[in-house]
Amino acid sequence: VARNNFHGRTTTIISFSDDETARRGFGPYTPGFRPVPFGDAAAAADAVDERTVAILIEPIQGEAGIIVPPDDYLPRLRELCNQRNVLLIADEIQAGLARTGRTFACEHWGVVPDVYLLGKALGGGVVPLSAVVADSDVLGVLHPGEHGSTFGGNPLAAAVGSTVVSMLRRGEYQTRSTELGRHLHNRLRGLIGHGVVAVRGLGLWAGVDIDPALGTGKHLSMKLAERGVLVKDTQGATLRFAPPLVVTAEEIDWAVDQFADALADSRP
C-alpha cells in the first residue's frame, strides 16, 4: 500500500492509514500491510516478497491532495505485479468513471489493473453504490453466500449503476472532462501568485494549494460554500475542485470567479 492513501474507514483499511483521525481509538489493527511512498516504484518492488498478495494504490491520490504520480509509476507497478505474480488493485473510487478524462485514471498510463474498486459516481451522485470489478479468475474465489451486506445489490442502486455504465460507453463525459478540465485548470492556474500556490490534477479534478497566509483550506471552503461553491478541503491547505461532469464552461468561470473573490477577501 502507498503512504498517505485513503481507502476508507473499516478496521482493516485504517490499519494501514497514515491519518491519525481515522485510526485513533479504533482497532485492533489488521497486520500484514507494508506502506511505501506513493510514486516510488522501486520502494514497492523492495516491499514485495513471496507472501505478497497484492499492491493496492489510488492511481491518483485523492485525499492526499490530488497527487498525480510520475509517468513511469503505474507501468512499473504493472510490470512488477506481472513478474512477481501479485495482483494490482486500483482504487478508482474518486479517480474513476470519467473524472480525469478517461473512463479509468489508469488509462492515462496504458495500465489495466487486476481489480478496480469503484464507487461514488457509480451511483450517479444520488444513490450509494460501490463495486469490486475483476475477471472471474480473481473474483471467482468468492462463492454465493460467502460475502454480503444489507445494502449490497440494492435493485434501485444497481439500476442507476447500469445506467451510469451505459452513459460512460458513449465517451461524451470523458471528452467533457478532458476539455472542460483544461479550462478549469487554465483558470485556476491564472490564480497562482494571487493566493494560489500550486494546481495539480487531471480532467475535471483539481487540487489547489492555497497560500497559508490566507487561512486554512477549511476556512476557504466555508467561504466558498457561502458563495454557493462546494469544494472540499484536505491536508490543511489544499482545496479539491471536483465539479459534476455536466458542468458548463460558464459555470466553471463563475465558480473560479467566486474563488478569486474569496481569496481576495481573505488577504490579511
- 7 contacts ligand PLP (rule: CB under 6 A): yes
CA–CA separation, 201 and 138 (whole Å)? 31
Residue nearest to ligand PLP (CB): 8
Concatenated DSSP letters for 10-58? SHHHHTT---HHHHTT--PPPP----B-TT-HHHHHHH--TT--EEEE-
Give least dist CB 128 to ligand PLP, A.
8
Q: 242: which 3 cell numbers?
A: 471536483
Does 58 sit near ligand PLP (CB under 6 A)? Answer: yes
154 is a site residue for ligand PLP (CB under 6 A): no
Q: Which of 62, 113, 201, 215 binds ligand PLP (CB under 6 A)?
A: 62
Contact pattern for ligand PLP over residues 102 through 141, marking x by CB under 6 A: -----------------x----------x-----------
Q: How far is the CB of 57 from ligand PLP (least distance, A)?
A: 10
Catalytic residue selected from 16, 38, 91, 104: 91
In the complex with ligand PLP, the residue whose CB is nearer, 130 or 178, is 130
Do 16 and 4 contact (CB within 8 A), yes or no?
A: no
State the minimum distance, in angstroms, from the CB of residue 260 to ligand PLP.
28
Report the residue number, 56 or 208, with the smaller CB distance to ligand PLP. Answer: 56
With contact defined as beta carbons under 8 Å apart, do 262 and 220 qualify? yes
Compute the least distance from the CB of residue 37 to ligand PLP, in Å. 18
Give whole-number Cα distances, 176 to 8, 75, 101, 221, in Å.
28, 26, 7, 25
Report, in Å, the least distance between residue 156 CB and ligand PLP. 17
Told to judge if 91 belongs to the known catalytic residues of this protein, a careful annotator would answer yes
Q: How far is CA 254 from the centre of its chain?
A: 25
Grid cell at residue 216: 486554512
How far apart are CB 60 and ligand PLP at their closest, in Å? Answer: 9
Which residue among 16, 114, 120, 233 is the active-site one? 120
Which residues on adjacent β-strands are paired with residue 239? 208, 233
Under rule CB under 6 A, residue 65 binds ligand PLP: no
Give every strand in the sheet of 87-91, ordered side by side: 54-57, 87-91, 115-118, 131-134
Q: Which of residues 208-267 bind ligand PLP (CB under 6 A)?
A: none
# chain residues binding ligand PLP, by CB under 6 A = 10
Q: Does 6 bind ligand PLP (CB under 6 A)?
A: yes
Sequential DSSP letters for 190-224? TTBTTTEEEEEESSS-EEEEEPGGG--HHHHHHHH
> Which of 38, 73, 94, 98 is the binder for ligand PLP (CB under 6 A)?
94
Is 46 a residue of the active site?
no
Contacts of 160 (CB under 8 A, 6+ apart): 123, 124, 126, 127, 129
Residues 6+ apart with CB under 8 A from 148: none
Instruction: Kindly give, in sequence order, each residue whose CB lies less than 8 Å from that of residue 144, ignoring residues fewer than 6 positions away.
Output: none
Catalytic residues: 6, 91, 120
The site for ligand PLP (CB under 6 A) is made up of: 6-8, 58, 62, 91, 93-94, 119, 130
